């Protein structure tokens, strides 16, 4: 079977078999039970942001492209107040959800700054605090690999809108992928082809290879999902699938997209890139584990929140047990030139996050945005330098303090969940081929 990949994963020291066993036996089942929890299934996203690059000419009218919005009563109480920043579980007895008790409404969005404020409010005025806040936002924005949305958007229940086949294809989908690969990926020299050939990748430096591999791996993951949850019958004969239709694996479609015969030999390389992006995000989770295990995971339901903390700590312990993590410390080393390359890497990635607003199918846009947001968060964890020596005691008062917003954590874990499911589904295709 062409999808029985062999050997080690390029630019990593570990083998496909190691990842398969680790993912399918240890991580995947745990993630599945984590991602159904309230904290992780509600994601706030703006699907109405205008495409900044070309006029949005291709709205997908297929019913399967539609995103079911959330009713207000479905959203957990604790998420309604727009918690911009998370706070840490065992840090502070202060009730961070009552900022209005101390400050005017204009500071309502700065909820979890209370601790800082408690420290600062004896010495600075409200005006100065606003300056501090702006300064902090500016500093944080420098670390981001994704552009911030101009307005926060609306909550979507991810479980009601699963990533699967939608029918989005043709010129609109191709324009997105082409613009990502041809204009926003680093390209090998003298690469005349419409899409980048894997054999040319090794001629580029490590950082540029990594960029290409994560994008190609994400593309492979999206396409595996649509093959694994393909519309096999448009009639909902059992009456159990919301929106009608029955969904299941389509081996022919999978073969068309990944077999060497159908893809000029590229398919298996794209599948290997899926393992690459998996390892990169896995390492980001390991690096951020000391931070993530101190989060509150607040939704307003004490019992559920406690369960969520237990479940995420279980996942993080398994993540830590992985023997051969990706080594990001060899990237962007070597002075000013490396810093320039890093900046370029960031700019390219930010552009890709903007391109997501041009996707012509809302369901694809939702998952595309979430996965780019999650990947951007992973890159921020790996390359901002703020997690290199992160300790819980350092987060207060320091102007260099680092935090992840709730939406970043939700995107990070869900994006990793998508990759984990793709590797799991790949194994099912392998068994079907046998």
Q: Which of 359, 379, 395, 426 binds ligand FAD (CB under 6 A)?
A: 359
Of the candidate spans 164-172, 238-246, 304-312, 346-354, the one that interacts with ligand FAD by CB under 6 A turns out to be 164-172
Token pair belonging to 416: 């990793």
- Which of 325, 340, 343, 218 has its CA nearest to residue 270? 218
173 interacts with ligand FAD by CB under 6 A: yes
* Rounded Cα–Cα distance for residues 117 and 114 (Å): 5
What's the distance, CA 213 to chain centroid? 15
Q: Tell me the closest approach of the beta carbon of residue 89 to ligand FAD, in angstroms.
A: 34
Helix (H) or strand (E) holding 316: helix 302-320
Q: Are 74 and 394 in contact (CB under 8 A)?
A: no
Half-sphere exposure of residue 286: CA atoms within 13 angstroms, side-chain side: 18
**Could you say which residues in the range 265-294 bind ligand FAD, by CB under 6 A?**
270
Please, which residue, 87 or 276, has the CB nearer to ligand FAD? 276
- 3-state SS track over 397-415: CCCCCCCCEHHHHHHHHHH
252 interacts with ligand FAD by CB under 6 A: no
210 interacts with ligand FAD by CB under 6 A: no
Q: Where are the beta strands (DSSP E) in 192-250?
A: 230-233, 246-248
185 interacts with ligand FAD by CB under 6 A: no
Of the candidate spans 44-52, 184-192, 213-221, 278-286, the one that interacts with ligand FAD by CB under 6 A turns out to be 213-221
- CA dihedral over 288, 314, 42, 424, signed as positive or negative: positive
Of the candidate spans 85-93, 161-169, 343-351, 398-406, the one that interacts with ligand FAD by CB under 6 A turns out to be 161-169
* Rounded Cα–Cα distance for residues 180 and 74 (Å): 36
Of the candidate spans 27-35, 66-74, 127-135, 160-168, the one that interacts with ligand FAD by CB under 6 A turns out to be 160-168
63 interacts with ligand FAD by CB under 6 A: no
Residues 6 or more apart whose CB falls under 8 angstroms from that of 21 comprise none
Q: Tell me the closest approach of the beta carbon of residue 227 to ligand FAD, in angstroms.
A: 9
C-alpha distances in angstroms, 420 versus 35, 388, 426?
A: 12, 25, 10
Q: Which of 364, 375, 378, 379 binds ligand FAD (CB under 6 A)?
A: 364
51 interacts with ligand FAD by CB under 6 A: no
- Residue for token digits 């009730």? 95
Of the candidate spans 91-99, 167-175, 315-323, 380-388, the one that interacts with ligand FAD by CB under 6 A turns out to be 167-175
Q: Is 185 helix (H, G, I), strand (E, B) or coil?
A: coil
Please, which residue, 136 or 263, has the CB nearer to ligand FAD? 263
220 interacts with ligand FAD by CB under 6 A: yes
Of the candidate spans 89-97, 333-341, 342-350, 363-371, the one that interacts with ligand FAD by CB under 6 A turns out to be 363-371
> Residues in the site for ligand FAD, rule: CB under 6 A?
163, 165-166, 168-169, 173-174, 176-177, 195, 216, 219-220, 222-223, 226, 257, 270, 359, 363-364, 367-368
């Amino acid at each position: 079977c062409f999808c029985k990949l062999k050997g080690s994963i390029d630019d990593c020291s570990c083998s496909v078999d190691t990842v398969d066993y680790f993912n399918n036996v240890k991580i995947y089942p745990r993630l599945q039970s984590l991602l159904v929890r309230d904290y992780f299934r509600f994601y706030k996203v703006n699907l109405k942001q205008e495409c900044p690059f070309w006029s949005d000419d291709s709205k997908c009218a297929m019913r399967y492209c539609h995103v079911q919005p959330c009713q207000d009563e479905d959203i957990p109480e604790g998420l309604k107040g727009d918690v911009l920043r998370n706070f840490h579980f065992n840090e502070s007895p202060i009730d961070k959800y009552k900022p209005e008790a101390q400050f005017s409404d204009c500071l309502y969005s700065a909820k979890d700054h209370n601790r800082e404020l408690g420290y600062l409010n004896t010495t600075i005025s409200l005006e100065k605090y606003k300056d501090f806040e702006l300064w902090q936002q500016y500093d944080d924005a420098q670390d981001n690999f994704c552009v911030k949305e101009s307005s926060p958007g609306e909550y979507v229940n991810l479980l009601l809108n699963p990533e699967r086949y939608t029918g989005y294809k043709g010129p609109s989908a191709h324009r997105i992928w082409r613009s990502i690969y041809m204009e926003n990926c680093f390209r090998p020299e003298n690469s005349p082809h419409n899409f980048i050939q894997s054999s040319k990748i090794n001629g580029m430096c490590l950082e540029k290879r990594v960029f290409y591999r994560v994008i190609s791996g994400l593309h492979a993951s999206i396409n595996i999902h649509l093959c694994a949850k393909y519309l096999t019958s448009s009639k909902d004969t059992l009456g159990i699938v919301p929106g009608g239709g029955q969904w299941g694996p389509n081996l022919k479609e999978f073969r068309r997209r990944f077999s060497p015969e159908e893809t000029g030999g590229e398919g298996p390389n794209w599948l290997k890139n899926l393992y690459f992006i998996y390892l990169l995000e896995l390492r980001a989770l390991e690096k951020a584990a000391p931070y993530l295990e101190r989060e509150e995971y607040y939704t307003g339901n004490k019992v559920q929140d406690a369960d969520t903390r237990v479940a995420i700590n279980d996942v993080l312990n398994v993540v830590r047990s992985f023997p051969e993590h990706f080594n990001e410390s060899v990237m962007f080393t070597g002075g000013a030139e490396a810093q320039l390359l890093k900046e370029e890497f960031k700019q390219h990635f930010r552009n890709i996050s903007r391109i997501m607003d041009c996707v012509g199918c809302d369901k694809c846009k939702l998952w595309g945005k979430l996965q780019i947001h999650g990947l951007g968060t992973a890159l921020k964890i790996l390359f901002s330098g703020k997690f290199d020596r992160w300790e819980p005691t350092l987060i207060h008062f320091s102007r260099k303090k680092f935090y992840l917003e709730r939406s970043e954590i939700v995107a990070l874990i869900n994006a990793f969940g998508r990759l984990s499911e793709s590797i799991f589904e790949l194994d099912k295709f392998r068994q079907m081929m046998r």
